[in-house]
Structure 1
Amino acid sequence: MKKFLTFITGLLCLSATAQNIDDVLRYSTENLQGTARFQGMAGAFGALGGDMSALNINPAGSSIFANSLFTITGANYHQNNESTYFGSLGSEVRNSVDINQLGGVFVFNSRNSNSPWQKIALAINYDMARNFDNEVYTFGNGNQGIDNYFLNFANGVPFGPLQIQDGEFIEEAYLDIGANLGFREQQAFLGYYGGIIDPVDESDNNNTAYVSNAQYNTVDQEYFKRTNGYNSKLTMNFSGQYQQNLFIGASLNFHTVLYDQYTEFTETGYDAGSEIQFVNFDNYLRTEGSGFSFSLGAIALLNENVRLGGSYQSPTWYRLLDDTSQRINSDLADSEIGFIDFNIVNLFDEYTIKTPSKLTGSLAIVFGPQGLLSFDYGYQDMSQAELRPLSDPSFSDENSFIAAQLGTVNTYRIGGEYRIDNVSLRGGYRFESSPYVDGVTIGDLEAVSFGLGFNFGGSRLDLAYSRSEQNAQSQLFSTGFPSPSLVNNINTNILLGYTLNL
């Protein structure tokens, strides 16, 4: 009966959560996904069109199609992460397979020879904007312990409200503190009943100073993070060809977000005289929500060989819901601490993330039926990202921090295709600058790609390989760990796509 009651209590827990810059970046950046042809040319399709995933760059691209068609693409995602933490090297690999693109376009040629509109196109396309499946393993011997995390939250918090009341279960107190006092006080509660910290004066309810129960010069730590989920995009597109050389289009984009993050932390190796010899601290976050954006674009044929493209991608407005669970244990933990586990759920108020708008300029040179070269440049000012509602004081502070830490992201994509009879050879290169002003917290991203296409007349088979690499400084926890883990991520995708002309 006790577990049933605490689960219901968990459903009623509402509080201001700890959304931050990491959440904003998670949903502001998209992996280069899409059709195999699109990836094989590094996504440089802003002035080309004629590909379902090119609609993500320039919505005018659907009216480039000569006929109606349907495309489906499957992908194998291979994530390889190497982390360096106090000189120790950890490695983790994650593979997953998914349908990352599915869509079709209907092309209607004008029957009125006097109309300047030559044709219109209606398209609907699903793309996996971002695949969150990933794993990172970190270990090392350092001088920063988990007690710092709890001390940073606890110092300044009165001890009295943290205590369990007569007749109250420990898990009820945990949820009640989170709902009525906040995340900071809830972490202080966990640190105290987890045995990690104590108030300086336990007899004083007004005590606001705390000390660690752990003694160490260095500690051994292991940290594992697994993420799952996706940010998918459903695009509804309309475009038209005006006279012979101008294509104009617009798209409505509907996002669906599902994100799970599980972290496991173990700390040992304390001094022989320390009352604490081990600490386990695990966290679980689940985010669900939806988003909306729109895009506008145009492609101009300057002559038979040269095309120019330009597009505007509006901000994306995400409405998200989080729930979190935690569990902790140590040598000095309260005997009832096990009742605080992943069945005890903190639910939070709905919040909004507004990602920045994006501008893209494109140039393509087409060498008749033999081949082409294409170049895209994208501009996005990440300092304009926001957490909402703006009336929330914690969001206001975090938005100021975001504006100071993040800057302009410049994206360069170049791709080429060469046709030999019914076979197309493709290649591409992509560079995306760091979203951080310091250029280090998350580094620049570089990617190369290659592809093959086989045209069977009424259908086409495409194969692509892409490899991207990026370095980042990853904090194990939001506070108390000044030395980050240095993570090198190599993301390799292999894609197979099939296109059927209708």
Structure 2
Amino acid sequence: MLKKSLVLMSISAAFFAQAQDVSIIRNSIEMYSGSPMVGSSKFNAMGGANGALGGDASSLLTNPAGLGVAISGEVSGTLSISNYKNTSTLGNSSLGYNKTQGDIGNIGAVMTFQLLSESAWKFVNIGVNFSNQSLDNYIETPGNTNIIYDFDIANNDSSSFGGHAYNRTGYLSKTSVGVGANYNNSLYIGAGLNFLNASIDQYDTARFNSTANGASELFDKNETPFSERSNGFSASLGVIGKVGPMFRLGASIETPTFWNIDRGYNFYNDSVYGDGSAVEDRRLTSPLKASVSAAFVPNKNFSLDVDYTLGLTKPKYKEYSGADVEINNFFKDNYKNLSELRIGAEYRLKQLRLRGGYAYASSPIDALTVSKFNNDGTASDQSYSNLILSDRNALSFGLGYDFKSFYIDATYQNISSKYTNPFMYGILDTNNGINSAYYSSTRTIESGSYIVSDVKSNRNNFFITFGWKF
């Protein structure tokens, strides 16, 4: 049964007792500590692997030195159609949800300036890249009649868990400007400035059904619904060098992104203000990232690139309150540095282009132990290696056709992951200023244990790029 008092938890999960727990962790890692990686169709088809190849504006997403590889001007626009399906399983029941939407995924341009002199510097190029991706994510979990909350035992007033919905809508964009230079067609250097924007609206709602008459009642988690409007800034440096007629090596580094986050949210049953709404400003520094790349280019018809990116630091909030201290401690103890491998290849057959890619990102959170409800309604501790987020695999392939000055590219990309989804933990401790309980218009639900569902996430993305070279 859902307990009205706090139960003991393992130290590794202690942060979950504090503020917005799961939502803050998920968004801090998935949204603010990653980077938009929607490039041109060519870039996406090759799994985002171009750190030692470069050549177009999408280089600003991985290694700005790639701008120096370009020998002609270029402008392109990419349309994206994305579909995602989340299936959440609790016990023997599952609920699935899918959504399809279209948008502008990428716009890029490179201006080349050939240096007509005796100097070994051949080109100085300027690039601009806009990358945009949806943050929409809806997870609906079925109910379990064995999980009961007793509001008033004496009057036989109790309800069973009827389901849960987590809903996030919004977008994340990254606008980059950079410069790249070509030294003697063997060494390329570059630098970029990145301006990021994010906008989300998020809900966390549970449904309980009366055991007496089946009537449904909806409960919102404290400090939800909430919205965030954010902007950030980072800079990047990179280099690419030829180490032989067929091999190139690349390296780049991107500073932390310095985020300013404006958040608005609803609160309930505050000891001073009761029910109402509030706004707050937060500051987040995302991880410093470094990438190394290698490319094999035996001839003009084939190229292969491998990129590896590693996070060198961890996310960190500026500590305005005890909640900021708690989440920083959580990241310090449980966050695993970003690790991502990307592989991509292209084969040219006259004017036709054939491309394929694969990307793997490791789970960003260490194994955690939490108190969770079993299918029979009892609670026990259980350890999870994929709580909230998990490993991510991406497969892609694409086609392109070059009409000399104009070209058109198309790509299909599949991104999949499986993770466990914790929710319904919530307590009210007015003595310590902790309120993470769930509220309806008339009642409060507190729980010292999580309900944990298994989520299978599958995203299918389609991209089409129209470009012009000049």
The answer, yes or no, to whether TM exceeds 0.5 is yes
In the alignment, what sits opposite 1:281? 219
- The one-letter code sitting in structure 2 at the alignment partner of 1:136 is I
Structure 2 residue matching 1:348: 3-state secondary structure = strand
2-side partners of 1:426 and 1:499: how far apart? Answer: 17
- The one-letter code sitting in structure 2 at the alignment partner of 1:251 is G
In the alignment, what sits opposite 1:495? 463
More strand by share: 2
Asked if 1 retains the 8 angstrom alpha-carbon contact of 2:56 and 2:109, the reply is: no
Please say if 1:484 is aligned against 2:431: no
Counterpart selection for 1:446 from 381, 388, 393: 393
Of 17-26 and 484-493, deviating more is 17-26
- Structure showing greater Rg: 1
TM alignment of 1:147-296, pairs within 5 A = 216=158, 219-270=160-211, 272=212, 278-282=216-220, 283-296=224-237
- The one-letter code sitting in structure 2 at the alignment partner of 1:458 is S
Asked if 2 retains the 8 angstrom alpha-carbon contact of 1:81 and 1:135, the reply is: yes
Please say if 1:124 is aligned against 2:128: yes
1:232-268 Cα shifts (integer Å, max 9, x gaps): 0010101111223110111000011111113442111
2-side partners of 1:257 and 1:214: how far apart? Answer: 47
Please say if 1:93 is aligned against 2:98: yes
Unaligned runs of 5+ in 1: 1-15, 148-195, 198-210, 329-338
1:195-246 Cα shifts (integer Å, max 9, x gaps): x68xxxxxxxxxxxxx998855x82422223322111001010111122311
Deviation at 1:415, TM superposition (A): 0.8
- The one-letter code sitting in structure 1 at the alignment partner of 2:311 is Q
Structure 2 residue matching 1:350: 3-state secondary structure = strand
2-side partners of 1:381 and 1:308: how far apart? Answer: 20
Counterpart selection for 1:458 from 381, 405, 409: 405
In the alignment, what sits opposite 2:373? none
1-side partners of 2:92 and 2:457: how far apart? Answer: 18
- The one-letter code sitting in structure 2 at the alignment partner of 1:467 is N
Deviation at 1:477, TM superposition (A): 3.8
Asked if 2 retains the 8 angstrom alpha-carbon contact of 1:31 and 1:131, the reply is: no
Asked if 1 retains the 8 angstrom alpha-carbon contact of 2:90 and 2:454, the reply is: yes
1-side partners of 2:155 and 2:86: how far apart? Answer: 34
In the alignment, what sits opposite 2:438? none
Please say if 1:387 is aligned against 2:333: no
- The one-letter code sitting in structure 2 at the alignment partner of 1:466 is Q
Structure 2 residue matching 1:37: 3-state secondary structure = helix
Asked if 1 retains the 8 angstrom alpha-carbon contact of 2:71 and 2:123, the reply is: no
1-side partners of 2:25 and 2:166: how far apart? Answer: 18
1-side partners of 2:356 and 2:104: how far apart? Answer: 22
Please say if 1:434 is aligned against 2:372: no
Please say if 1:314 is aligned against 2:282: no
Deviation at 1:459, TM superposition (A): 1.2
1:387-406 Cα shifts (integer Å, max 9, x gaps): 11x24222112200111111
Deviation at 1:326, TM superposition (A): 6.5
- The one-letter code sitting in structure 1 at the alignment partner of 2:260 is R
Please say if 1:419 is aligned against 2:326: no
In the alignment, what sits opposite 2:48? 43
Question: Over aligned residues, Cα RMSD in angstroms?
Answer: 2.5
Count the aligned residue pairs: 404
1:4-56 Cα shifts (integer Å, max 9, x gaps): xxxxxxxxxxxx97473233113112454111000101011110101322211
In the alignment, what sits opposite 1:165? none
Asked if 2 retains the 8 angstrom alpha-carbon contact of 1:59 and 1:296, the reply is: yes
In the alignment, what sits opposite 1:190? none
Asked if 1 retains the 8 angstrom alpha-carbon contact of 2:122 and 2:184, the reply is: yes
Please say if 1:398 is aligned against 2:327: yes
Q: Percent identity?
A: 27
1-side partners of 2:356 and 2:154: how far apart? Answer: 56
Structure 2 residue matching 1:443: 3-state secondary structure = coil
In the alignment, what sits opposite 1:367? 298
Deviation at 1:62, TM superposition (A): 0.8
Deviation at 1:133, TM superposition (A): 1.9
Counterpart selection for 1:356 from 276, 287, 297: 287
2-side partners of 1:437 and 1:381: how far apart? Answer: 16
Counterpart selection for 1:138 from 141, 163, 182: 141
Counterpart selection for 1:377 from 300, 304, 308: 308
Residues 214 and 76 of structure 1: CA distance in aligned 2, closer, same or farther (over 3 Å): farther
Structure 2 residue matching 1:484: 3-state secondary structure = strand
- The one-letter code sitting in structure 2 at the alignment partner of 1:110 is L
Asked if 2 retains the 8 angstrom alpha-carbon contact of 1:86 and 1:142, the reply is: no
Please say if 1:56 is aligned against 2:61: yes
Asked if 1 retains the 8 angstrom alpha-carbon contact of 2:181 and 2:189, the reply is: yes
Runs of 4+ residues deviating >4 angstroms? 16-19, 142-147, 211-216
1-side partners of 2:296 and 2:49: how far apart? Answer: 12
- The one-letter code sitting in structure 2 at the alignment partner of 1:68 is G
* TM-score normalised according to structure 2 size: 0.81
1-side partners of 2:154 and 2:357: how far apart? Answer: 54
Asked if 1 retains the 8 angstrom alpha-carbon contact of 2:45 and 2:412, the reply is: yes
2-side partners of 1:412 and 1:448: how far apart? Answer: 12
Asked if 1 retains the 8 angstrom alpha-carbon contact of 2:178 and 2:190, the reply is: yes
- The one-letter code sitting in structure 1 at the alignment partner of 2:123 is K
- The one-letter code sitting in structure 1 at the alignment partner of 2:53 is L
Asked if 1 retains the 8 angstrom alpha-carbon contact of 2:199 and 2:230, the reply is: yes
Unaligned runs of 5+ in 2: 1-17, 368-384, 427-446
In the alignment, what sits opposite 2:112? 107
Asked if 1 retains the 8 angstrom alpha-carbon contact of 2:290 and 2:312, the reply is: no
Deviation at 1:123, TM superposition (A): 1.0
Asked if 2 retains the 8 angstrom alpha-carbon contact of 1:281 and 1:326, the reply is: no
